[in-house]
Structure 1
Amino acid sequence: TNTERVGRARRMLYELLLADHPSPCLRQAATGDCELETQARRAGLQTLRFTPRLSPRGIDDSSPIIKVDHSACILCDRCIRGCSEVKQNFVIGRTGKGGGTGIAFDTDLPMGHSTCVGCGECMVSCPTGALTNKKVLEVRLPQGELLSPDELLKLPIFAGVSGTFLALNKGSVIRRRFRPGEIICREGEQGSTAFYVLSGQVEVSISTPMAHVKSGPPTGRAGVANFFRRLSQLVGSDEDQRDDGPQRFIPIDGPIDLDYGNPVARIGPGELFGEMTCMSFYPRSATVRALEETEVLEMLRNVLHVLQKNKRFKAELERGYRERALATHLRSVPMFAGVTDDFIGHLCDRVELIQYEPGQVICRQGEAADSFFLVRIGFVKVTQTFPGSEMVLRYLARGNYFGEIGLLGGGVRTATCSALDHVEVVQIRGDDFHAMLERFPEIRANLEAEAATRLAHDQERHQRVSTVPIADFLTQGLMEAQNLLLIDLERCTRCDLCVRACAAAHDGVTRLVRDGLRFDKYLVATSCRSCRDPLCMIGCPVGSIRRRDSLEIIIEDWCIGCGLCAESCPYGNINLHSFTVAVADELHPGQKKAVVREKATTCDLSRELKEPACVYACPHAAAIRVEPLTFFADKLALAK
């Protein structure tokens, strides 16, 4: 092996491999120990005679813990042997032929969407920068006890987790201890971690009052701008009730839902909370405080991702969820209100918990309907395809359900439902669903009435979209609107009656600002547009913002004021209004202090009135609410 002839052959192979290899690769740049580049340097290879590859093979960044650079892969098969022979996970294999050969996960899926458990064996085996560990940058966990891999592996929840992975991600999970009364996390705050209770009891609650806001006494000069400078007061639920339906539950980022009338619950050992904040970086949905001496594990996203893939941990969480929370979760759905306890118990034994990655399709329009789904974690996007376009019908948060229309109406899906972020659903199979309808006919009647209403609205949308061409003459997002407030500037006398009427209809807090974009002779006022793709609904940690079938966006009174909806609205049509509330003073036990909190407000089309208050109050018919696809198409036709 040390002859000159063998040396020339070896250098030729190094040269051919390096021509198809980024230099330096990720591993070489980070640690300087890429085996290919090290061996080539030892062999005295200085320059390449072959033209480097012009088109990279691509990078797979879908896994939160391992980065895959296909251009750096030399097809040594070490990762395949580590995955199959050492760990026996059988996830990695080869795909393609000739020069197109590469490594693949579960028959060419992105790594993050495959059944990879994140053990890290492939990453340790890889001699180049093809498989590298993702570092969690610029994230420092609060003060806590750093646990070694050996200490973590002694904990039951880490049974079966790779010690290699824990060593590579040291510091991504810590142990924290809390005294009675100490706050673990607070509602509305930003975060990036999840918590697992090892011992003790914690209280989960929403401290923001269950109420909407109204304007307080005016301060300073009057005018529209003054509305946004006032501190607001609260309208209690007895003064402003959004829905007169059955008892409601508030969905939170935990294994339980909170009772609307008393939003307080307890979580004990073996429970996980904060998953949505950790995986999708949503604001905290509730305040969690220790009720006794409590010990928790706080972990970053990469650790939680591996635990969710771990069969033992997943089975333990699922068992606890079935025993302690599933029945309450099912009861929180209005359609299950009349179901007996024994049938709820029957469903609890037969349902299946399924996880979906961001963008993954749960069910597709036109497919056979075989299951009913209840959202447990995350957000599901519901879309419907029309000729030439696709419309977002709604976003479904924890506690919402879908799939009933297909099961009731001929067995075909009427819409496509896909995971917007990391989603977990409770799946009820079609035979159990139909058994429930046969046993409880009143549920069938309610579901059929609801399905008929939804289908009628969908048909109305279909007719509007299919009869009006999708024009690209508006570049400001106006064609995304379904209900647009326009002010005819040739008719408007700037009397501000529209703004005052809006404020009067909403307890002094206006939803309208008479300013915005101009198109032709029209002012597009700053007011909710009821968008086809309502980005404001994405990510609400307590599910308080939602769309009614009659298009208007409403914000329920359990809004915690995190401001995510206002940040997500691209048109600035959601505002946060401040109000004062008395809370317990942590520094002076037994006393209270006044603090300023916020709640979000947006136009609800004056749903309690026959038409929007701003339109009704305009004395010159300058303010109008229009469906822009039809309205602007007519205007363009007249201009031709």
Structure 2
Amino acid sequence: MSSDAVPNDRPMFDLGALAEEVLPDDEGLFARDVDGQLIRVEKATARELDESLSLTINGETLTVRKAVPTRDSQGNVINDPDGAPVPRLTTIFDAASRAFVKRPGDPNPIPTLCHKEHLPPIGVCRVCLVEATEETPRGRRSRLVPSCVQRVSEGMIVHTIDSPDRQAAARVRAATSIVVELLMADHLPADGEVAPGNELSAVAHRLGIDQSRFWASNAHRGCDDSSKMISVDHEQCILCGRCQRGCNWVKHNEVIGRSGKGYQTRIAFDLDDPMGHSSCVSCGECAVSCPTGALEFKPTFIETQIARLRDELRKDGQDGDIVTADELIGYPLFSGIPYKFLQFNGAAVVRRRLEAGDVLCREGDYGSTAFVIMDGEFEVFLSGTRGAVRNRPAGGFFGWLGGLKTVAEKVGGKAKLADVGAAALGENERIIRNQDDVILGEMTCMNRYPRSATVVATRPGEVLEIKRNVLYMLQRNSVSRQILDRVYRERSLRGQLSGLPIFRSLSDEDKLKAASFLRDKADLVSVDPGQTIFRQGDLADHYYVIRLGFVKISQEDGLAQRVLNYLGPGNGFGEIGLLSTLGDRWSEEFEDLRAGTRTATCAALDHVELIRIDGDDFRELLERFPELRDPLIREAKEILRRDAADRHRLQSLKSDDFLDQGLYLAQSLLVLDLERCTRCDECTKACADTHQGVTRLVREGLRFDKYLVASSCRSCLDPYCLVGCPVDAIHRNGDSLEIEIEDYCIGCGLCSDNCPYGNINMHGFPKQEVDAKGKLRTVYQEIDGRKLPVVQQRATTCDLCKSIDGKPSCVYACPHDAAFRMTGEELLRRTQTQ
């Protein structure tokens, strides 16, 4: 950077004065992390999650917790192995966001570049500087600090660029402007042409900076055009580290690091390889994270994505227009999503226009999309039945798990509860959804379950059909997440709460009142597979309701854990520990019950979403509705008696393996009867012959009695493999069970990593592309004077031979009638009846 500057009226910032104000012991608070960034090493404690302090920001006094739960890239709370949230210290930026960003789209008084809500803060760009006054060993002093990493303290006074204290605001603005001008001089294009979504340019505009007063350095770091998908312009890179954290922390690909020193410092791929020659899997997370034009999607890639979708729509005979990034960014729901992400997923949003009577989706269909309602009105119902929609115990295996199912019953035209959309209905009312509800079908899109209802347009309307990767980004962004959470709380949560089993003794009117009381007091939490929600003997502090997934309830029996029950969506748990604190006399058979403690351990079997209600709110509910008390206590005692009598009920043949391996969710297992099987391997050979020499099964796996569960895709009810595909190349067939992987798979391996059962494999195939005549041709490269085909990695898995004739070759080829396709429920039933 040249020391000469173009003079103007903006005040220069006195760096020397700042240095004098910095406390000499500040360096002791820092240490270098694995990416070479200086970060604070102060650790938060679980106790600080419940401790509060007061501070003032821009003249407004706030009360905040000393620590907040750490969240992942999707906004979910990260928990330790015991199920407790992992704390991190509350920062000034956290406090300012909570105080001033009260509605979606509200501006934050603190600008940022290197920090994003879904990434761990590192405080490298210093654009988020604020003036903080606090007590120190030397007395009360003020200094400029990076707000994204500076923890709050009791009595702290903070001023930002928008502070009503004009002198303080001017000092902060001057410091921030210097930082931004220095970045602009070296990292904005010389011609002033910046791409949409350039955050450095946006921050400069917010600060009123038209051009930098400094001259650019003569050092050049060059460009990298080797990738087929992303262009790299090192000249525009501000070394904010967002691409590194996106690649290494969000996607866990571990490809991006840093190389060089001084002005030659730049991001690097692997061992400083060109991006196109590195182990980059082209997931696009780095470009989406980049705040400048340093990483951009190539226009040819975007055009190819859009052209492919247009061809698919035309072949499928579907009506719809592709919605461009420029149009999407103007909608409130999408306003907080990075512009580059919308570019990258230019083929992931389609506008559909419907006339009155058109079906948007049908009950029972598998889907991988959700619908953002732009206009119109839609009726939601089951199988065309306009009767009462209720939760009933499910039959078969899921009934064995304690699950519920949604059924429609005609009861004199009066609907008691609509589980679909969780809206309470009165006489002659219907389940109607419009643009105030924002979105439809998100649960099927997120969790890969069948559509729970049929949705029909009642008048002309318009929806945006979005794919799963777009929905995940909406959940990751705070603006979008606030909109979706608000809609859920206002229009769905009360109805879902009113259908809780604990409210059975209440009248319909009181059910709605009780649900209204709990609605604003409930938290929405997500739990990972296998994670403990609470342990036996823990203090009882919450009541839980299952929105999605299944929960295992177990109890200690000596040194072993005995499974007591399995609960599915719609069920509540955790009330026994709370009821035991009410002072009621428990039967003699429960003399050893410790009041206020958990009587069992609860853990997630799969991805679980819970509604969490604080214990104090639960007890206040019982005070407001005393008629709940006696039935709940009777039921709690009955549960304890049943648990004592049936402690070994579900400890049947290898049931632990059956559950741990997720077989209860399998819809199409390849099962071999070992009493008939001669190990001829004809099933494996047939699979390889059918799929161009690449077998999609391995004749190994778990054994249950005389049956062997071979390693092959199971068509899980909740397939983890569908989560996070950057190009949405893997999905479930809309009409059946099969998991399909499209030819445009980029070979990133994410689906293979996500599958916990090892049933998706990566194989190399000759790369093909469409030539000018529209024909596929193999792509060749020259290596050591030889012309060899370019090998492209692609994911493969069993699709039940749907791509051939729909008859599984493995089963058809078995000469001894030893191979079968069956559900997990059927396998369990067979092993239990042998």
TM-score of the pair, normalised by structure 2: 0.38
User: Relative contact order, CA 8 A, sep 6+: which one is greater?
Assistant: 1
TM-score of the pair, normalised by structure 1: 0.48
